[in-house]
Structure 1
Amino acid sequence: MDYQQALDYLYSFIGGQQGAQRPPPMFNLVRTRALLAALGNPQHAMPSVIVAGTKGKGSTAAFLEAIARAAGLRTGLWTSPHLHTYRERIQVNRQPITRDELVQAVESIRPIVESMANGPIGAPVTFAIGFGLALRYFAERNVDLAILEVGVGGRFDSAAVVTPILSVVTPISYDHMDLLGDTLAQIAWEKAGIMKPGTPAISAPQHPEALGALIRCAAEIGAPLYVVQDAAPESAVVCEPFLPGPWRIPAERYLEVEPQQRFQRDIMPSLPGIFQVVNARLATGAALLLRDAGLPITDAAIAAGLASARWPGRMEIIDGSPPIVLDGAHNGESIQQLVVSLNRIFPGRRCVIVFGASRDKDLARMIPALAPAIDALVLTASRHPRALVALHELRQQFAPLVRSDTPIDIVIDPAEALARAQDLAAPNDLICVTGSLFVVAAAREALGLAGERD
């Protein structure tokens, strides 16, 4: 195989085997376990942390990875989706797997996948194959800690077959309702599927409905659940274990006054945006629980990790006249937090929005949340197969929610849409590209920020 052939082979298993009926979700776990067993169970070679949730999974994983690496640990990082190249999904010490390494990995796994395809349980899907490749790659490179981001859901995600030393749940909101349920309690229950009996779990502050579901799940399986206190950024991180009934234990405060000042005041998170404060606090709590588990994570490593973490395409600010903000917010609550962040970081600026979304996203929540920030709007569509391309209909949804004199343009190509936004914006204005990570990726490529891409 060459590199493109390796990618084509991986992508040929999107949605499962051709012509096969879509199996029940639990089949993903059966197939992932079988795949990992055939690979020698590489997940047993290193301790791991699993990160689930709706918003902030990648950013929280990036913060935690940076903290672990600052502590001298060799890290493995599995995330999705990628911005520019599949290789971003599989990183050791934040260095993506090379093209040659990916080709070799795909070639070596191909006989296993094809044997499974001809057997009684069938072949794993693309995501599970990549997950297996990542775990074996981490094991071969003697990773000290693997940080594994869940894809959609949690209960039936490939990562759920791994028993971590810590489970992390980021903020839960409405997304993928067709798969996870249409209430926060149902969605949270699915996310809670990564929790394991006796294994600590830590959650970001949650809506009461979501938190209730997490507490019930943790109590049923006997998982100590810690919740980061919902407090102002300058206050200490407080982790309170929720163990209802016989599992209840006293709350513990992990950060007292002096570390509080170091983490929250002198060292600010490297990633901008109000939502990144929550992600940084969650990663800090996770790091302290990992310290309790015996990992050599010092206060200095936590501070250094928070200050150095990077995660492109999430509230990424490109300096210029005007500045450009790239943020892959793709649900209503993420859009709301983006708008608040824009108002705080760039108060009073006229804002030109470039917006594109995937067909399966909750536009009924996204559009009203974004409308107050719009002074001019350019609608576009990524090249991804799931992209929403009915842009004239999208314009009709936006039009009643913005001022009558607001320009709304349709430019199919994202690079050309960004160029149109630059034409519409004055030097003291602001341009924001949002609605989809795929649109953000196209904008980064147009700005020459992508580097190598597939």
Structure 2
Amino acid sequence: MPITTYQAALDYIYSFIDPTRQGSPDPAIAAHALARITALLDAAGNPHQHLRAVVVAGTKGKGSTCAMIEAMARAAGLKVGLWTSPHLSSYRERIQIDREPISQQTLIELVNAVQPLVEGFDVATYGRPSTFDIGFVMAMRHFVAAQVDLAVVEVGLGGRYDAAATITPLVAVISSISYDHMAILGPTLRDIAYNKAGIIRAGQPAITVPQRAEAAAVFAAEAQTVGAPLWLAAEAAVEPWLAAGQPLAYPAPPQPGKLHGTFQRENARLAMGAALLLRGQGFTIDDAAIRRGLAEAWWPGRFELIDGPPRILIDGAHNGDSAEKLWQAIAQELPHRRMILVLGTSRDKDIAAIAAALAPHAAQIIITRASHPKAMDLDRIAAEVEPFSNTPLQIVPIVAEALAVARALAGPDDLICVTGSLFVAGAAREALGLAVAD
């Protein structure tokens, strides 16, 4: 029976979530997952091979970097597809063309098209496709059908064995590397960088930002091994141990207009570098398009400030490094009397590192959780946060209610910061009427 409603289409996509399937640092298991999506794409006619694409990997800043590359390409008159994950409020956010989420009707049609491929799939050899696999195939098919000029593809996890590794990118883009998903990517920065470096391809330019020495060495070695020119998106003066490639000359200051936070300048420099490298691949992205796209690029839930009083800051920082950068940006850019922290995380995150970066600066801390299977238990979060807190913790299980408690506690000159998870960020946006879940 064909699927006829949007909810039924979502139910079908989510029916492939397998809570018993866990990521693994074992390369053989990871390679098997890559073989599975490769086989499913082959059954679908290999749509990814008919796209000109940029692939973006990294620990943090991937989504913002994708948004800025997309905006610059679109400002140049190109038709641009965008694949990202996870979504904040609607699954349709994951598959966009010219920043318009895929329509419910088109998603229904894509699910009906992919369903027979899944039913005929060689499960005995490859295993059952995942929800992510199915979404990726639908996105690639959607972009081909729409005849996009460029696809901007965000890596879901890692890079070497991610679905995006099936693509030979025109430019491989790697944002800042830090500790996250260590149970899958490995315990060291070298291990994590090795996974991210897997998107670099022979003869195709790659670009990254200044990295810590062990990560920079991995990217330089990978580029040399596969025969790819490696570029560095950096300030004019860079310490040699940070460098992993040749510096680029920029036509304008890398200052995004709508994406706030000092850390976004690094992402902007990286995105601008990718746009400049796309010129060498035949795309006419001129300096004016770069400036206009950078000024207009937008990515919700990332240092998103809602005017008050009190002001509310929503940010998806979900590891220690991103939490540290979040606090640095708050301290530099958002004067306030007191900070009220609304914090919820996912089970696989280093809660202590997040708490160490933010909790000492908070006058009030409210622990909450998103309504997502990966959300961390409230008691566990509280136990991890308490050693870093200067105030008693409040536990409010629902994000919307936690936000209401924070607003009741806050004075007009205070700042409410909602963070720790993109799922929490999405729930906060919905509670404030900035988005509607579907």
TM bucket, shorter chain: over 0.9
CA distance in 2, matches of 1:5, 1:16: 20
- State the match for 1:7 in structure 2: 10
- State the match for 1:414 in structure 2: 399
SS in 1 for 2:96: strand
Mapped contact 2:207–2:231 kept (Cα < 8 A): yes
SS in 1 for 2:335: coil
Q: 1:101 aligns with which of 89, 101, 106?
A: 106
1:407 Cα deviation after fit = 3.9
1:78 Cα deviation after fit = 0.1
- State the match for 1:132 in structure 2: 137
Q: 2:70 aligns with which of 65, 68, 83?
A: 65
Aligned positions of 1:372-411 closer than 5 A? 372-389=360-377, 391-403=378-390, 406-411=391-396
Aligned positions of 1:189-200 closer than 5 A? 189-200=194-205
CA distance in 1, matches of 2:205, 2:21: 40
- State the match for 1:440 in structure 2: 425
Map Cα deviations across residues 140-190 of structure 1 (whole Å, 9 max, x no partner). Answer: 001000000001111100010111111000000000000001110110000
1:393 Cα deviation after fit = 3.9
1:355 to 2:340 alignment: no
CA distance in 2, matches of 1:225, 1:287: 15
User: What amino acid does structure 1 have at the position aligned with 2:327?
Assistant: V
Mapped contact 1:90–1:96 kept (Cα < 8 A): yes
User: What amino acid does structure 1 have at the position aligned with 2:385?
Assistant: F
Map Cα deviations across residues 398-425 of structure 1 (whole Å, 9 max, x no partner). Answer: 233222xx24210001100000000111
- State the match for 2:46 in structure 1: 41
Q: 2:356 aligns with which of 352, 365, 368?
A: 368
SS in 2 for 1:49: strand
1:254 Cα deviation after fit = 2.4
1:213 to 2:208 alignment: no
CA RMSD of aligned residues (A): 2.2
1:333 Cα deviation after fit = 0.3
Mapped contact 1:254–1:288 kept (Cα < 8 A): no
* Pair 445,253 (structure 1): closer, same or farther in 2 beyond 3 Å: closer
Q: List gaps (5 residues or longer) in structure 2.
A: none
User: What amino acid does structure 2 have at the position aligned with 1:336?
Assistant: E
Comparing 310-319 and 348-357, the one that deviates more: 348-357
User: What amino acid does structure 2 have at the position aligned with 1:333?
Assistant: D
User: What amino acid does structure 2 have at the position aligned with 1:83?
Assistant: L
SS in 1 for 2:375: coil
Q: List gaps (5 residues or longer) in structure 1.
A: 243-250
Aligned positions of 1:18-33 closer than 5 A? 24-33=29-38
Aligned residues: 429
CA distance in 2, matches of 1:80, 1:393: 26
Map Cα deviations across residues 19-67 of structure 1 (whole Å, 9 max, x no partner). Answer: 9x99811122212222222222211222100000000000000000000
CA distance in 1, matches of 2:274, 2:30: 29
Comparing 363-372 and 428-437, the one that deviates more: 363-372
1:172 to 2:177 alignment: yes
1:254 to 2:249 alignment: yes
- State the match for 1:248 in structure 2: none
CA distance in 2, matches of 1:386, 1:99: 26
User: What amino acid does structure 1 have at the position aligned with 2:387?
Assistant: P
1:114 Cα deviation after fit = 1.2
User: What amino acid does structure 1 have at the position aligned with 2:18?
Assistant: G
Name the TM-score, length of structure 2 as normaliser: 0.94
* Pair 412,202 (structure 1): closer, same or farther in 2 beyond 3 Å: same
User: What amino acid does structure 1 have at the position aligned with 2:127?
Assistant: G
1:240 Cα deviation after fit = 7.7
* Pair 369,101 (structure 1): closer, same or farther in 2 beyond 3 Å: same
Comparing 110-119 and 316-325, the one that deviates more: 110-119
CA distance in 1, matches of 2:249, 2:282: 15
SS in 1 for 2:263: helix
SS in 2 for 1:24: helix
User: What amino acid does structure 2 have at the position aligned with 1:223?
Assistant: A
1:343 Cα deviation after fit = 0.9
- State the match for 2:84 in structure 1: 79
**Could you list the runs of 4 or more consecutive aligned residues of structure 1 that deviate by over 6 angstroms after TM superposition?**
16-19
User: What amino acid does structure 1 have at the position aligned with 2:266?
Assistant: V
